[in-house]
Chain A
Amino acid sequence: MTRQVRRRYLALKLECDGSVEQRVVADSIFGAVLRLFGEVGASQAALRLIHFDGKAGYAVVRCSHTALPMVRAAIASITKIGDQPAAVHVLRVSGTLKSLSKKVAGSFLSV
């Protein structure tokens, strides 16, 4: 039996000069989706930050699988987190957290 809502998990690498807080990162990603695709797009994306490692600069976000291209584009368009210049790279995309942790080498998800 298939699940009603198919999701995608994205492992992200954050690059910025200083340390950042989870709330600021979540706002940046959500703000990027909202800016590019509007409120309707953001509501379709069902975006959620589900893992954050500020020290290592890793994060995992979850979104609807139909909104994956939108979310990827929005994440690539991020140039600032808070007030700091930053870049966010998508490391891997997967259908489950378990397979994502297998795919990302030296997984930060097991921490």
Chain B
Amino acid sequence: MKFCDLHLYVSSADLENAGRMLAKSSELGYVRVAVPLPPNVKEEVVHSLRQISQRRGLDFVTRLDLAPKSPGELLSDLRRFRRRFEVVSVLCGSKPVAGQAAKDRRVDLLCFSSVSPRRRFFGFAEAELASGSSTALEVDVAQILSANGSERVGLLASLRKEVAIANSHDVPLVISSGASNPLLLRKPHDCASLGLLFGVGSSLALKALSDTPAQIVDRNRVKQSQGYVSPGVRIVKEGLKSD
């Protein structure tokens, strides 16, 4: 099984620390790692991070985290940046944004950063929309690890509800580390075991750490490759131009 971590916080300004985090990921058994980058990231920075990852035997994936205030802002951001990144996630801070992100095919992951159940907007309506656009629900392990006491109780209750809704509507689930320091990184099987806390069985959790994220990255790489026209249609050979 090839494990992916689609959410590893690495500072693009501090390449030494980035190297440590990527080395740790590789040591723990991940083969593919997505790093959130700023929208205006320079090509040289991406190249350096890709090289560091390759040295550690990791497949580097570029990721963009969008946190729009309105559906209009989300559409504008997607139009500007979608093609430059392999994975796009949307941090849903309001119900309208969650709805727009769920129905847009250009969005790969739906994220909810708040631990408060009132600030998490994944319900039946969003699940219905997400199932039609193959947008996945992302769960960050670091969020669970960092929370304590009643905060963690509330978070686990929300996650349990969201995962049940996602499963009932066939919305894919992705489990990521969301780690910003090496001590928040866990082995893939340890991350999967944490799924027990919010009602995800071992096999589904392992799929959420391997197959589902791999499919998202592969699908987007095909879309960004030369000759891609639409799903199932690609230019194999161009005909001669007649003058």
Contact = CB atoms under 8 A, between A and B. Distances in A.
Interface in A85-103: 85-87, 89-90
Given A79-B145, A89-B28, A73 B186 contact: no
Interface string B185-211: 111011101101100001000000000
Interface in A1-54: 15-16, 36
Contacts of B196: 69-70, 72-73
A59 interface: no
B130 interface: no
Interface string B45-85: 00000000000000000000000000000000000000000
A86 B193 CA distance: 18
A90 B197 contact: no
A69 B193 contact: yes
A90 B187 contact: yes
A63 interface: no
B144 interface: yes
Looking at chain A, what size class is its interface with the partner chain? 10 to 19
Contacts of B144: 77
A45 B194 CA distance: 16
Contacts of A89: 28, 186-187, 190
A79 B181 CA distance: 12
Contacts of B146: 79
B194 A76 contact: yes
Contacts of A36: 197
B145 A77 contact: yes
A60 interface: no
Interface string A68-82: 011011011101000
A90 B193 CA distance: 11
B184 interface: yes
A48 B44 CA distance: 51
Contact of A75 (B28, B190, B191, B197): B190
A16 B189 CA distance: 20
B235 interface: no
A39 B34 CA distance: 39
B233 interface: no
A60 B183 CA distance: 20
B187 A73 contact: no
B194 A79 contact: no
Contacts of A76: 186, 190-191, 193-194
Given A76-B194, A89-B28, A89-B186, 7 more contacts: A69-B202, A72-B189, A72-B193, A77-B144, A77-B197, A89-B190, A90-B189
Interface of B: 28, 144-146, 182-187, 189-191, 193-194, 196-197, 202
The 3 A-B residue pairs with the shortest CB-CB distance in the complex, in nearest-first order = A72-B193, A76-B190, A87-B183
